[in-house]
Chains A and B, each alone.
Chain A
Amino acid sequence: MTVRETRGANRGHPGSSKKKTRVAPRGRQVQAGCREELDRLLGSEPSRRDMLIEYLHVIQDHYGYLSVAHMAALAERMKLAQAEVYEVATFYAHFTIVKEDQSPPPAITLRVCDSPSCEMAGATSLATQLETSFAGQVRVVRAPCMGRCDTAPVVAVNQRHIDHANVQRVTHAVEQRQLTPKIPTYVGFESYREQGGYQLLGQCLAGERSPGEIIQALKHASLRGLGGAGFPTGTKWEVVRSYPGPRYVAVNADEGEPGTFKDRFHLERDPHRMLEGALLASWVVQADTLYIYLRDEYPAIRKILLAEIEALREAGLSSHVKVELRRGAGAYICGEESAMLESIEGKRALPRHRPPYVAERGLFDCPTLVNNVETLHWVRDIVERGPEWFAGHGRNGAKGLRSYSVSGRVNSPGVKLAPAGITARQLLDEYCEGMLPGHRFRAYLPGGASGGILPESKADLPLDFGSLAAEDCFVGSHAVVIVSDQDDLRGIALNLMRFFEHESCGQCTPCRVGTEKAVALMQEKQWNRQLLEELAVVMADASICGLGQAAPNPLLCTLRYFPEEFES
């Protein structure tokens, strides 16, 4: 309906536009030199679609950021749409994209941990102090839980984590350019083997044991998925094994549930227990490839695993399966198993709809066994020491050993190897030397950010899968955060909702919009209880994955168990 001016003058053609023509094809063109730079960085091997995130890491590790020029060259090299590269790069918090008109970030980024434990330990004021003290020289950002809650507050200086951080310690690291991870002392390949490690795997590979035998042991031990869902491990192995191949194993080392640091604890001390468990799993399900998906917040473990996987390869202990270590890039949602598989495929980590379950259709649409680090950690001991040994632990009717990550207002935080079914009060008293001086036990988070918040009056409930269902809470990854009378409970609930808002993948409405609206409502002085409850029901009922379904738990618990918070 546009009526255009048509010039009467002799233009020699019928057009009326006054525009100049484009001087190149549509859109952003690959700049001269960028192809060659990527050739040097990424080598001449044909590109693999599933390696997109790894390639982005290589580029960012080299240049400190991702320029759109390099991303355009990468898209061309991988025969991907530019948008495909961009949406993946922008999904993960650890990638920094620099457009033509933007300046690169400072060489050093300080990530101040935002978890409830760090928050309770003063992370917010620390972040403000760091911003003032480094004004402009470094980048200061808030980041979700780094899995070091027992040493809160924590700051990451690039890849160096500062425990019990303060301005002085951080400044020291910055000035000394301590930017790479400190490798802890751990049981290496040789020592592990000297202590009897890999004999079990050797027996299996030699045909001296049968897959059925291993599965039976796991079943008898009542080993359950210790990432949080608690699915019986032996059954899972059996189910995956029953589907036609090719099959895959994927180790979920994306421990991101705020308050949880048990997988880091095990991997930094005794990584081969997980590796042996994973290689056994791969043997049992006859996997084509074993993927280990490690969160980017654990750079020390990455170095450890790279070295130890190589040692295994050289020793010929992994010849039955290809082993690939994959690096996350800052996204809590990758802890959700189907989201993790998407990420391994080099995509945005959007959880998948179930059914089909990943055991049947997982990685690259093939049957996939996904196990958590700690789950695999116990496999060798269970088989070697017998399932009774493992099942013999436990209190209050629960079976097995658990690695509880305890943090918050306790005297002795840390990973506590304790019987399944122990109560929060027992953990506090028997394992953590009680409350910090001057703090009174008021409440606790039984399962990280997702498991809800319970009052001290409910501290005698057993902490095991399903045992908190009556309270609409769950133990999940067994991350127990102890809250005292000096803490702001509504503040903690808001902190957790902000965490979910930040970490929501954005795929479905109840979670993407719901977390955002919930944060807005929870920031109000007066909470709109009815609307929040209606919202919570729909988030729990209609979200695609566990993140959105569990996100309202802390909110609902606060409303239910802490009415005093709402008395004016």
Chain B
Amino acid sequence: MSQGPIRFYLDGAHVEAGEGESIWDVARRVGTSIPHLCHSGRSGYRSDGNCRACMVEIEGERVLAASCVRQPTPDMKVHTQTDRASDARKLVFELLMADQPEREQAHDPESEFWQWSDKIGLAASRFTSRPVVPPDQSHVAMGVFLDSCIHCNLCVRACREVQVNDVIGMAGRGHGSKIVFDFDDPMGDSTCVACGECVQACPTGALVEKSLVDEQGRAWARELKNVDSICPYCGVGCQVTYQVADDHIVAVQGRDGPANKERLCVKGRFGLDYLRHPHRLTRPLIRREDAPKDAAGYVDPSNPLSHFREASWEEALHRAASGLAGIRDEHGGRALAGFGSAKGSNEEAFLFQKLVRTGFGSNNVDHCTRLCHASSVAALLEGIGSGAVTAPFTAVAEADVIIVIGANPTENHPVAATFFKQAVKAGAKLIVMDPRGTALKRHATHVLQFTPGSDVAMLNAIINVIISENLWDGDYVARHTEGFENLRQRVREFTPEAMAPICGIEAERLREVARCYAGAGAGIIFWGMGISQHSHGTDNARCLIALASITGHIGRPGTGLHPLRGQNNVQGASDAGLIPMFFPDYQAVDGDDPRARFEDAWGTSLDPQRGLTVVEIMGAIHAGEIRGMYIMGENPAMSDPDVQHARRALATLEHLVVQDLFMTETAFHADVVLPASAWPEKEGTVTNTNRQVQLGRAALDPPGEAKQDWWIIQELARGLGLDWNYTHPRDVFAEMGSLMPSLAHISWERLEKEGFVTYPCPAEDQPGTDIVFGDGFPREGGRALLVPAVPTSPAEVPDAEYPLVLTTGRQLEHWHTGTMTRRTAVLDELEPEAVASLSARQLQVLGAEPGGRIRVTTRRGEIELTARCDNSVPDGAVFIAFCYAEAAVNKLTNPVLDPYGKIPEFKYCACKVDVLAES
């Protein structure tokens, strides 16, 4: 019903309203200020028109109209400044002010409410106030002060419509109505996931960050400095504004970034105080002579001087570089290896791999991508010629059918999950496939809780239905794929009926789901570690690629393949070449052309042999082939499978240099520990899961003598004899641009101006391309390769001795190995101790109590921790997050690798559980 702009009169002047624009929108556009409280004007927030602060007069109408919800009609005569309208607006404020605490006592004296009151010249109310409502201080991060609540409903919209976390409601009626959490429970006891969207939306300070008020809830009087940057945690890459006071980040606000639209999650909003945790390393450390390395050793992070002594940077750098150089010179470059970091910037990742390749002289460089999406990347490179996503997750807005498989985005990509949930609210169908019941389940149209490890069987059955029922896109297959006949032959035997007993999903349900996805106008697939972290992870991803390819769900709006990347910069670090097989931009190290190009650029010869991967490196240490390592911002002593094996390897090294923020479990085994900078202390670029290259800015300086990582890498490079002279990350970015076609038309200056650019980008003055491969794939011949997969069992299945399945992963509040998040007050308080989740029935079978202590044992080790009753975990399984040092679940995991991606099978091994007597 688009009918072009609507011309009407605003205060006598002719104005035009575009489609969907309200009177308020037009007024703002033309510079007429109309007060507003319940209308936020922010993206994703529906106007509600309830506060009546924005009333205007419309000629010919009996009563005033709320300008925020009113669409103009042709020739309508609107008056914003009549006495009638402004008196009404002012009295609305006066009514609300009557019930507010005095401004001196306010939870936010600079809230929108008080700012508007100033503007309309209202300082006091003639009405008497209602009885004071007691505060709810039950939540560790947020205070609920309903004495300031104006019932504007913004927090309800924030919670239910924007974040779709569905916790907040407006209960009761009339003047007795009240903001509630769940069933009017204390916020801290409710299902609140602490995304803080409500706090960000509240126009009065009724919901406020505790860090901004004193114990009585009064705002601290202090200036906040705002620094625009990016969140340090996950691959979503939320744009944030850090609010700084007294050398601390005291609050974080979401900015209108392409991936977050001002939204954040609990980590990004409340998890930044690790920066000033007393454990921060502030001086270089050198291992004490009297502190021998011990695989089982423990160094108290608050007192590393038991094992280390402080040293000057000069001494520490010399020691670090000379140790590495000595091994290189004596045993060759392949006796050294480096783990770079997906938590640093692109520039740091680039320098790190360049250091290993040109300074060590080998390709033994890898990072945690090996542990998360290596198999996905292997399958994607093989199938479609590119390891990155084909569409951003925000493409769900245009999708009819969304598949989320082996991913738990509400915990691990919470802000991405908000877009999924919104899409469902807007009418999209959601298919959730996961052995565990995830929080998305409630929003799903179809839920397939399949037998752990049976991904290929289930997906093959779905492919089988699509082919046998002729639901595939013949035209797309003919034009854009190869290998279809082979696929058709190979999946013929995998009928739903044959696969149902294996995957535990009835044949008819498999058919329904196949028809639903294949029949969609636009279908999109998201996956996570549940797909990749298997010994058949590459096969899992191949099935997904085949599924999307035969249905033509790639390259159009609302379609695509999207492995949800984990770390804030795992995409960028991989792109930058922090991988043993590839130079930057996935140019093969064993290809002559690319190698020549890099040799040329770097003025040195490069090792033509692929390097070793993360887990292979640990093996090579045990084999005596690798003798020295440089590890920056990674914690393999927690994150590797069968971690005792990894710790023994680390303790065996002749020389280990660790560069980190804290005395990590990896640093326990170091010879030299170099104090590094945290992301919010840096300037640099990061690339999120959507291929959006974004610029981060420093909010704080590194504490003490801690240094910028790029500077440390450069100093080590110099110590290894390289002649590096970078003066700023922008110099590095310029070099990257010259060697990486993916970064074409993305300059540092452009990023400073625009904040982000998506790659690939066609021109300096054009936005990047969100959806790629509409016209073919970057493979020889331009077609996607369909690779059939055969169902295989996980490597270690339950038996009489180890009857349960152990699966590992992450949880909302803790980041990976817990190095950062266990050092933030809010997150540590929300998830304070190691916990194993089991179903109620499983606990009963074991005779265990929720909250009781249990021992979980596998063939590789045992840990003791607290049991949690969680019915989202299927019977017969145990779920444990790998963030808990006191019960490191990777002591138990199986180091068996996927043959292509070399990723370990973190998602599946056999275990047993014993109940421990209460101590």
Contacts and interface: CB of A to CB of B under 8 A. Distances in A.
Interface in B140-192: 150-151, 160, 166-177, 180-185, 189-192
B50 A508 contact: yes
A1 interface: yes
Contact of A509 (B52, B248, B300): B52
A474 B279 CA distance: 74
Contact-size category for B: 35 or more
Contact of A541 (B84, B279, B298): B84
A384 interface: no
Contact of B302 (A6, A91, A353): A6
A331 B172 CA distance: 11
Contacts of B192: 26-27
Interface string B73-96: 000000000001001100110011
A12 interface: yes
A393 B850 CA distance: 76
Given A6-B302, A531-B126, A84 B166 contact: yes
Given A353-B69, A534-B91, A512 B151 contact: yes
B825 interface: yes
A403 to B, nearest CB: 27
A325 interface: no
A540 interface: yes
Interface stretch (A15-23, A175-183, A459-467): A15-23
B169 A83 contact: yes
A512 B149 CA distance: 13
A535 B825 CA distance: 48
Interface stretch (B351-359, B769-777, B815-823, B891-899): B815-823
A504 interface: yes
A555 interface: no
B828 interface: yes
B870 interface: yes
B175 A516 contact: yes
A501 B88 contact: no
Interface stretch (B199-207, B673-681, B829-837): B829-837
Interface string A494-529: 000000011111111110111111001100000000
Contacts, number: 249
A550 to B, nearest CB: 11
B833 A14 contact: no
A506 B172 contact: yes
A13 B822 contact: yes
Nearest to B73: A355
Contacts of A71: 183
B174 A506 contact: yes
B173 A91 contact: yes
A544 interface: yes
Interface in B483-523: none
Interface in B182-224: 182-185, 189-193, 211
A83 B171 CA distance: 8
B832 A15 contact: yes
Contacts of A79: 442-443
A60 interface: no
A512 B175 contact: yes
Contacts of A541: 55, 63-64, 84, 88
A510 B174 contact: no
Nearest to B278: A6
B99 A513 contact: yes
A15 B833 contact: yes
A132 interface: no
B868 A87 contact: no
Given A8-B303, A512-B151, A544-B50, A15 B169 contact: no
Most buried by B among A10, A355, A541: A541
Interface string A234-256: 00000000000000000000000
A244 to B, nearest CB: 12
A505 B63 CA distance: 19
A83 B151 contact: no
Contacts of A355: 71
B191 A27 contact: yes
B176 A506 contact: yes
Interface in A528-556: 531, 534-535, 537-538, 540-544, 549
A86 B828 contact: no
- Give the size range of A's interface with the partner: 35 or more
Contacts of B69: 353
Contact of B88 (A21, A24, A531, A538): A538
A143 to B, nearest CB: 14
Given A71-B183, A72-B183, A86-B182, A510 B823 contact: no
Contacts of B851: 20-21, 23
Nearest to A333: B173
Interface string B107-132: 00000000000000000001110100
Contacts of B596: none
Contact of B182 (A2, A27, A503, A513): A27
Given A14-B279, A24-B868, A549-B63, A509 B169 contact: no
A11 interface: yes
A517 B98 contact: yes
Interface in A57-105: 68, 71-72, 79-84, 86-87, 90-91, 93, 97, 99
Contacts of A16: 825, 828
B653 interface: no
B264 interface: no
A23 B868 contact: yes
Interface in A24-81: 24-29, 32, 68, 71-72, 79-81
A2 B273 CA distance: 8
Contact of B63 (A18, A517, A540): A540
Contact of B96 (A81, A348, A506, A513): A513
B167 A83 contact: yes
Nearest to B126: A531
Contacts of A385: none
A83 B168 contact: yes
Nearest to B832: A17
Interface in B626-640: none
Contacts of A20: 832-833, 851, 866
A108 to B, nearest CB: 24
A87 B128 contact: no
Given A502-B174, A509-B95, A82 B868 contact: no
Contacts of B245: 1
A517 B125 CA distance: 12
A76 to B, nearest CB: 8
Interface in B871-886: 872, 884-886
Contact of B177 (A32, A93, A506, A520): A506
Given A14-B823, A23-B850, A87-B171, A538 B166 contact: no
Contacts of B298: 10, 12
A538 B91 contact: yes
B49 interface: yes
Interface in B356-381: none
Interface of B: 49-53, 55, 63-64, 66, 69-71, 84, 87-88, 91-92, 95-96, 98-99, 126-128, 130, 150-151, 160, 166-177, 180-185, 189-193, 211, 245-246, 248, 250, 273, 277-279, 298, 300-303, 442-443, 662, 818-819, 822-823, 825, 828-829, 831-835, 840, 850-851, 866-870, 872, 884-886
Given A8-B300, A25-B870, A506-B176, 7 more contacts: A13-B886, A29-B869, A91-B172, A331-B173, A508-B50, A509-B150, A510-B52
13 contacts: A14-B662, A14-B822, A15-B828, A21-B832, A27-B182, A71-B183, A90-B171, A501-B175, A508-B49, A510-B91, A531-B126, A541-B64, A549-B63
Q: Which 5 pairs of residues, A with B, have the shortest CB-CB distance?
A: A83-B169, A27-B191, A81-B166, A17-B832, A506-B177
Interface of A: 1-2, 4, 6-29, 32, 68, 71-72, 79-84, 86-87, 90-91, 93, 97, 99, 331, 348, 353, 355, 501-510, 512-517, 520-521, 531, 534-535, 537-538, 540-544, 549
